[in-house]
């Protein structure tokens, strides 16, 4: 990735082994953890870097300053384009939830004989897994539609009735 260093923060912390410093770097409007060693870059530098994610925290790694780059054109905070990053952990949680619901539906349909499987024993597992996959995908697509629309409102949950 590439960007301009907007700001570098340093904070003194106290731990079991005494006082220490932690550093963060702000690039394209996003704060990234830099760890315990002061980054070699400075505000206004144009840098190449990588991001690693540990849990909910994003950390900057492999920083290299683009030598010869003109740093006076660094964007200010008001004009920085937002970054659009995907949190794969969030996607995984959503998919797992859809999968769990699809498995629950499959169990309910099988228990009530509402889902018919092939007569051959060898084909039953494949048919059941294909059904679970299909329902999981339907649920995930429906969930994504809700997320794309900004979520659900109370009005969305209230049944609409026609008054005659």
* Dihedral angle sign, alpha carbons of residues 111, 112, 115, 118: positive
At residue 76 the predicted structure's pLDDT band, cuts being 50, 70 and 90, is very low
Report pLDDT for 164. 55
Q: Where are the domains of the chain?
A: 2-65, 88-152
Query: What pLDDT digit, counting tens, does each position of 104-114 carry?
Result: 999 999 999 99
Residues 26/7, Cβ–Cβ less than 8 Å: yes
State pTM to two decimals.
0.43
Average confidence (pLDDT) over 76-96:
63
Token representation of residue 133? 């996959």
Query: What pLDDT digit, counting tens, does each position of 23-33 carry?
Result: 999 988 888 88
- Cα–Cα distance for residue pair 79/60, rounded to 1 Å: 22
DSSP letter at 160 equals: P
């Amino acid at each position: 990735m590439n960007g301009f260093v907007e700001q570098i923060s340093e904070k003194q912390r106290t731990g079991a082994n005494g006082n220490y410093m932690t550093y963060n770097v702000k690039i394209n409007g996003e704060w990234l953890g830099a760890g315990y060693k002061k980054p070699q870059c400075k505000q206004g530098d144009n840098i190449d870097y990588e991001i690693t994610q540990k849990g909910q925290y994003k950390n900057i790694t492999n920083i290299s300053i683009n030598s010869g780059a003109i740093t006076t054109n660094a964007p200010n905070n008001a004009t920085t384009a937002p970054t659009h990053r995907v949190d794969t952990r969030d996607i995984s949680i959503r998919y797992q939830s859809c999968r769990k619901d699809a498995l629950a539906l499959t169990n309910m349909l099988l228990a009530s004989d509402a889902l018919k499987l092939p007569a051959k024993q060898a084909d039953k597992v494949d048919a059941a897994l294909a059904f679970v996959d299909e329902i999981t995908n339907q649920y995930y697509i429906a969930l994504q539609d809700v997320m794309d629309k900004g979520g659900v409102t109370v009005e969305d949950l209230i049944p609409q009735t026609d008054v005659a």
